[in-house]
A = this chain, B = another copy of it.
Amino acid sequence: MSEQTKRISISHGGGGEDMRRLIAGEIQSRFDNEQMRDLGDAARLLLPGGAAAVAFTTDSYIIDPPFFPGADIGYLAVCGTVNDLAVSGATPRWLSCALILEEGLPLADLGRVLDSMARAAAEAGVEIVTGDTKVVPRGGADKIFINTAGVGELDNRVKIDIRSCRPGDALLVSGPVGSHGAAVMLARENYGIESELVSDVAPLVGQAAALKAACPSLRFMRDPTRGGLAGVLTEITEAAGVGIELEENLVPVLDSVRSICELLGFDPLYLANEGIMLAVVPPSGSERALEALSAAGAAAPTLIGRIVEDELRIINVRTEIGGQRILPPPGGELLPRIC
């Protein structure tokens, strides 16, 4: 296809290779500054005189359907942005709320969504301090889109940096993977599957704070949303120039998620999560980190693998049946409207 006729496709929003190429080629190339080159979950802003530093992040939520088992787009829009700040090492404090509403949206639905935002903000200890409301004509948008930007306080003593991950470091997850992606998929498509499964969406403020306090040498945290655990692991190998050994049988996955994945041919490692984190800690800190996560209420804090030296930056998975496979980066077609 010629340059002139290239168009945006669904895969550009999926959290995989196409999205990375779009962002590098079209966005980072134009907005060239240190923060954008970093591509962390939040930018670090240093206020004049070095008096204070804040973290700043943004995320739009376009999830279809807006109401899904366990929560809704409002609860998700607060938790998602709060979590981006928390895993960046910041204390989330203030959020904005920008609504794009489709003409015809029942006011009662808007009310439910806003109630959920208020509840999530209270749980996460943040205030929603500024906002914007736009309405588009019927057919101009799908029901409701929400953008939340967030500002958090940064403690400059904490250095969370994906590039600091090094061979020997332990990989931890705080809870079972894939629950959000699987729950939304079930809610969206009419597969005829009955399930008790709910999204894992929840604020990670307490867990992130506990981990920072328990592990001063904490290397990195990230909530594996679009692209799932596989996406974050790929980012680590690329940014830090390392390989990864992942023990598949150690990765916590709920039975309900596992059976949905088997039925539909999905891999839980690629499904979105909205209430768990991946953390990288030096080998000596892994016990303390797991205890801290557990004390902070994490559902299933687990050591799932290690960083290894590997110039080829391969993620090597030891499978449950004792074999080995290479985990490829997330591709393009990744359920784009799960967040």
Contacts and interface: CB of A to CB of B under 8 A. Distances in A.
A134 B45 contact: no
A146 to B, nearest CB: 10
A2 to B, nearest CB: 10
Interface in A319-339: 336-337
Interface stretch (A20-28, A203-211, A216-224): A20-28
Contacts of A132: 58-60, 147
A43 B94 contact: yes
A12 B13 CA distance: 29
Given A56-B130, A58-B131, A106-B5, A114 B10 contact: no
A128 B58 CA distance: 11
A277 to B, nearest CB: 19
Nearest to A49: B52
Given A97-B31, A106-B5, A136 B142 contact: yes
A186 to B, nearest CB: 19
Interface stretch (A115-123, A256-264, A303-311): A115-123
Interface of A: 3-14, 19, 22-23, 26-27, 30-31, 33, 35-36, 42-43, 45, 47-49, 51-52, 54, 56-60, 62, 64, 93-94, 96-108, 110-111, 114-115, 117-118, 121, 127-137, 139-142, 145, 147, 149, 151, 153, 336-337
